[in-house]
Amino acid sequence: MSDQNFVNVTGMTISFGTGSKRRQVVRDVSFQIPKGGAYGLIGESGCGKSTILRALAGLNTDFSGTFQFDGETVGNKRGKPFFSRVQMVFQDPYASLHPRKLVQDVLTEPLKVHGFDNIHQRIDDVLRAVGLGPQFRFRYPHELSGGQRQRIAIARALIIEPTLMLLDEPTSALDVSVQAEILNLLKTLREERGLTYLMVSHDLAVIAHICERAGIMQHGRVLEEMTADDIRAGRATADYTRTFLQASLDAIPSQE
C-alpha cells in the first residue's frame, strides 16, 4: 500500500447498548491519512469523535468496518507491536497521570514494556523534546502545571517512538495561553519526527492550526471533508457545517 493511505478507515460503525436500547453513535465513517499527515475530526460534544479514536486505539474493539494501518488490516486484538507504533494522548492531563508516580517512573514504564534500553538517556531526550529540563524527572504530577502535565503525557506517548498519534482534545482542558504552546509543540514534534496525527476537537481553530484536512461530524456521521484552508475561508457545502463554521470563524488565527 502506498504512503497515501497510512491510515485508512472504511465504513466504521459503532453502537452501544443492547436490545431496544442499542444506539448507533458512529455511522459509516471513512477517512484516510497519508504518512506524516494530520487529519482532524471536528464536531459538537456527543457527535462520536472520541468514540472513533477509542475504537482505533483498541479501547473499544466492538465496531464494524475496517481499519488499515500502514498497509495492514488491524484486527480486534491490538498487540504490543501495534502500541509501539500507535499512541494516544488524552484530553485531561490531570486524570491521565498517576498521582503517586514520579515523572521518571511514568516515562520508564512504556520503555520497559516495549523493551527499550538506554532508559535514562531516552528520558532526558524526551523531556528536552517536550520543552522540559531533566529536573522534571523527580517531580510528581501535583507539582506540575496543567501545561507541564500535558507535556509529560505527550512525552510518555512519544518516548517509544510511535508513528501515529491519536490526539483526543489534547488542549481543551488547558488555559487558552497554554493551549497555544501545546499546539505549537505538537506541530514542531510532527515536523521533526515525521509523525502522523489523528486529532479530535470541538474547536475549529485548533484543528485548522494542526491539521491539513478534517471531517466535520454530526450525529455520528462525517458530513463533509474540508481542508484547513476551506475551514479558514468558511467554504462549506453542508448547511450544518456552514453554521458551525460561522460560529467559530472569528476564533481562527490566519495562517502565518
Kindly list the residues in this chain that would bind ligand ATP in the complex (CB under 6 A): 16, 25, 43, 45-51, 202
Which of 1, 247 has the CB closer to ligand ATP? Answer: 247
Which of 49, 151 has the CB closer to ligand ATP? Answer: 49
Which of 51, 241 has the CB closer to ligand ATP? Answer: 51
Q: How far is the CB of 213 from ligand ATP (least distance, A)?
A: 18
Which of 35, 219 has the CB closer to ligand ATP? Answer: 219
Pull the grid cell for residue 234.
468558511
Q: How far is the CB of 40 from ligand ATP (least distance, A)?
A: 12
DSSP code of 157? H
Beta-bridged to residue 24, according to DSSP, are 15
Q: How far is the CB of 193 from ligand ATP (least distance, A)?
A: 26
Q: How far apart are CA 47 and CA 42, in angstroms?
A: 9
Q: How far apart are CA 100 and CA 139, in angstroms?
A: 10
- 191 near 162, Cβ under 8 Å? no
Q: How far is the CB of 95 from ligand ATP (least distance, A)?
A: 13
- 99 near 114, Cβ under 8 Å? no
The candidate with the shortest Cα–Cα distance to 34, out of 159, 198, 220, 209, is 198
Which of 28, 70 has the CB closer to ligand ATP? Answer: 28
User: Which residue reads 493551549 in cell numbers?
Assistant: 179
Q: How far is the CB of 45 from ligand ATP (least distance, A)?
A: 3
